[in-house]
Amino acid sequence: MLNWRQLLGVDATSRRQFLAYNAALAAVPFLGNTTQAVEKPRFKDNPFSLGVASGDPDHRGVVLWTRLAPSPLQPDGGMTPTAVRVGWTVAEDEGFNKVVAKGSTLATPQLGHSIHVELSELKPDRWYWYRFHVGDAVSPVGRTRTLPLPWAEANQLKFAVTSCQNYEQGLFTAYEQMARDDVDLVFHLGDYIYEYEAGRNGKVRTHLGKEVESLGDYRVRLSQYRADPLLQGMHAQCPWFVTWDDHEFDNNYSNDISEEQGIDPQRFLIRRMAAYQAYYEMMPLRRRSLPRGPHMQLYRRAPFGRLADLMVLDTRQYRSDQPNGDRKSPLNEAALDPSNSMLGGEQRNWLYHSLINSRAKWNVLAQQVMMGMVGFPSDDEPLSYSMDQWPGYAAERIQLMKFLAERRVPNPVVLTGDIHSNWANELRVNDRDPESQLVASEFVATSLSSGGNGEDKPSWLEELQSENSFVKFHNRQRGYIRCNVTPETWTSDYMVVDQVLQPGGKTTVRASFVVESGDPTIKIA
């Protein structure tokens, strides 16, 4: 695979773009005291138009995020190319009567005037409130929390799981109920934006402009999504763990390989560099995720006391190319090739090390594409499988299941997005063999809006489940999963929305399932 140094071999225009991007990233807020900053700027419009957010919490702190953008749908957010000093305040109460931390930091043009404040001296297992101020402007108030001490015996964790929020195909109605659920945190498992040109995906709302390619394009597209009030409101409710899938950059890409034939991988990496930088700018991520050229580390781990180890994976950046031309195919020699990798060697080793060292009751793998080996029936035998999901990397998946079983990793649970439908799967070493060892549970969250309203029970559901006995639930409506974890049980509520094509949709519990500690069998709650 290409690395960023190899990009220096491209033509002069591309080389200049690469050097400009790389110089911008090298000059980020660490300029600090050596950069002359505007202390009291004036804005024609609200500089906090994109709201506030928090993310990547641990027992000592959390990341606080905002971005100055008085004109959010301009590539530069309507800001001049100068650094601006922004103040922040954290309190133990919503009225800010008990301030526990405050300070200031720089919003630099190199990172689109985004702010990532990393707090590290808060108390564990506490709720906090925060806000930003710059000049005469004050941001909305956000609520966030720290996690329990890694060795603490936590009694409960409540969170939501979502993915796939296509702006053109539906309203973000489900966030309204999610905000009322009063969860501790949110996992967003990818496809936060869609990169397609305006009008390609629907007419509920319309993207701005052509398919996004440049840094400015990605900034505008992310800002258009972030301007949604329901999305902003949910970000302000609690901290998020985010990871990308493909549409944050380009559909069905794998590492430096496009799904389209004939795309120059060098130019492709230049585009990926722009996408990754814009993603970092717009997400509440720690400095460890700051991109280096077209590379950005997103896999990470966060213990929620001794109750749950939360492991966030990246199944796009390091994967080998999809076998069989990324077409639905049988589990043939190409799909079973042991050289195929979804995770890449370094991330896989990190995951195994994390699982071995976990002392948690539940071990959570938050990732993008379905791990259940679902075979789709058709008139032609044999069953066909998605090569973009784990069946295309079947050998690595089997190795992972064997590792979980042989090392007796306690209560592994996989959380998944991507597929625009709800699934509850019991994961075996070999899903095609009902006698194979049952190892883990998988809860797949449908899309938040992608695909429009969807349907409750597709006509072929009975045939699908008869061919895939490990599938315990399937549904194609929009929504998210609400999870409640205790030392004894894991409960997943599938929350579905009856209407995303127009306002007024109602969110209800479609189905609930429970997994008992020590037994990965999925049971109706």
Kindly report the CATH number assigned to the domain that includes residue 51.
2.60.40.380
Number of H helices, E strands in the chain: 8, 23
Tokens representing residue 377 in the block: 């029936």
- pTM for this one? 0.94
Q: Pseudo-torsion of CA 213, 216, 218, 223, nearest 10°?
A: -160
What are the residue ranges of helices labelled H in 358-433?
394-406
CB neighbours of residue 370 within 10 Å: 22
Residues 188, 120 within the same domain: no
Would strands 489-497 and 185-188 be described as parallel, antiparallel, or unpaired? unpaired
Give the CATH number for residue 226.
3.60.21.70
Residues 76, 205 within the same domain: no
Q: Could you give the number of structural domains in the chain?
A: 2
Residues 46, 137 within the same domain: yes
Q: Report which DSSP code applies to 71.
A: S
Residues 405, 488 within the same domain: yes
CB neighbours of residue 287 within 10 Å: 12
135 occurs within a structural domain: yes
211 occurs within a structural domain: yes
103 occurs within a structural domain: yes
Containing domain of residue 115, as a range? 35-145
22 occurs within a structural domain: no
98 occurs within a structural domain: yes
Which of 103, 120, 145 is at the close of a domain? 145
* pLDDT, tens digit (0-9, with 9 covering 90-100), for 12-36: 444 455 545 454 454 444 444 445 7
Residues 135, 248 within the same domain: no
Tokens representing residue 444 in the block: 């797949």
Residues 135, 164 within the same domain: no
* pLDDT, tens digit (0-9, with 9 covering 90-100), for 56-72: 999 999 999 999 999 99
Residues 185, 304 within the same domain: yes
Q: Which residues contact 153 (CB under 8 A, 6 or more apart)?
A: 305, 306, 307, 487
Tokens representing residue 390 in the block: 């784990």
Residues 321, 262 within the same domain: yes
Residues 124, 261 within the same domain: no
136 occurs within a structural domain: yes
Residues 140, 162 within the same domain: no
- Locus of tokens 């549970």: 441
Residues 326, 223 within the same domain: yes
Going residue by residue through the chain (525 aa), what tens digit of pLDDT does each one get? 444 444 444 444 444 555 454 544 544 444 444 457 888 899 999 999 999 999 999 999 999 999 999 999 999 999 999 999 999 999 999 999 999 999 999 999 999 999 999 999 999 999 999 999 999 999 999 999 999 999 999 999 999 999 999 999 999 999 999 999 999 999 999 999 999 999 998 889 999 999 999 999 999 999 999 999 999 999 999 999 999 999 999 999 999 999 988 888 899 999 999 999 999 999 999 999 999 999 999 999 999 999 999 999 999 999 999 999 999 999 999 999 999 999 999 999 999 999 999 999 999 999 999 999 999 987 777 899 999 999 999 999 999 999 999 999 999 999 999 999 999 999 999 998 889 999 999 999 999 999 999 999 888 899 999 999 999 999 999 999 999 999 999 999 999 999 999 999 999 999 999 999 999 999 999
The tally of CA atoms less than 13 A away on the side-chain side of residue 383 is 16
265 occurs within a structural domain: yes
Residues 91, 229 within the same domain: no
Tokens representing residue 512 in the block: 């609930």
**DSSP notation for 433-493:** -TTSPEEEEEEE---SSTTTTEESS-TTHHHHHHH-TTEEEEEEEEEEEEEEE-SSEEEEE
Which of 113, 145, 177 is at the close of a domain? 145
